[in-house]
């Protein structure tokens, strides 16, 4: 059986070309990084909303509207920022490139390796 070549879209062009992002990367993986980073950047609003929900119980829908609105506004501001998207896309591309070089996923690289082996 002859070796199959990858589709043309998977091949890498010269370094000066814009890196190709598959649909799942552009619409799922980069936005996932955006959500994680936005939650960190809006951590004070996340914390306030969480605290309100814990204190309010079943009445959180009514009592935590202000905290919820502030949290949504903070997160939405980041989600709609094209510069923030580009920053997260670059972070994703670096992780992808590192994975292609090493074969080790980012999660495993971030875990501490025991020094006494």
H or E segment and range at residue 114: none
Within a domain: 53? yes
- pLDDT, tens digit, 9 for 90 and up, residues 55-103: 998 898 899 999 999 999 999 999 999 999 999 999 999 999 999 898 8
Contacts 24+ apart (CB under 8 A), 83-89: 84/34, 84/37, 84/38, 85/30, 85/34, 88/30, 88/31, 88/33, 88/34, 88/37, 89/21, 89/30
Within a domain: 44? yes
Whether the CB-CB separation of 94 and 102 falls below 8 Å is answered with: no
Q: What is the pTM of this model?
A: 0.70
Q: Which domain holds residue 95?
A: 22-102
- pLDDT, tens digit, 9 for 90 and up, residues 29-42: 999 999 999 999 99
Within a domain: 10? no
**Structural domain count of the chain:** 1
Within a domain: 54? yes
């Amino acid at each position: 059986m002859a070796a199959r070549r990858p589709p043309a879209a998977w091949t890498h062009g010269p370094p000066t070309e814009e890196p190709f992002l598959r649909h799942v990367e552009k619409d799922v993986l980069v936005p996932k990084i955006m959500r994680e980073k936005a939650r960190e950047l809006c951590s004070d609003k996340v914390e306030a909303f969480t605290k309100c929900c814990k204190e309010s119980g079943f009445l959180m829908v009514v009592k935590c509207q202000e905290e919820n609105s502030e949290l949504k506004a903070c997160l939405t501001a980041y989600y709609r920022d094209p510069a923030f998207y580009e920053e997260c896309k670059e972070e994703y591309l670096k992780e992808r490139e590192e994975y292609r070089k090493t074969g080790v996923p980012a999660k495993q690289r971030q875990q501490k390796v025991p020094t006494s082996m």
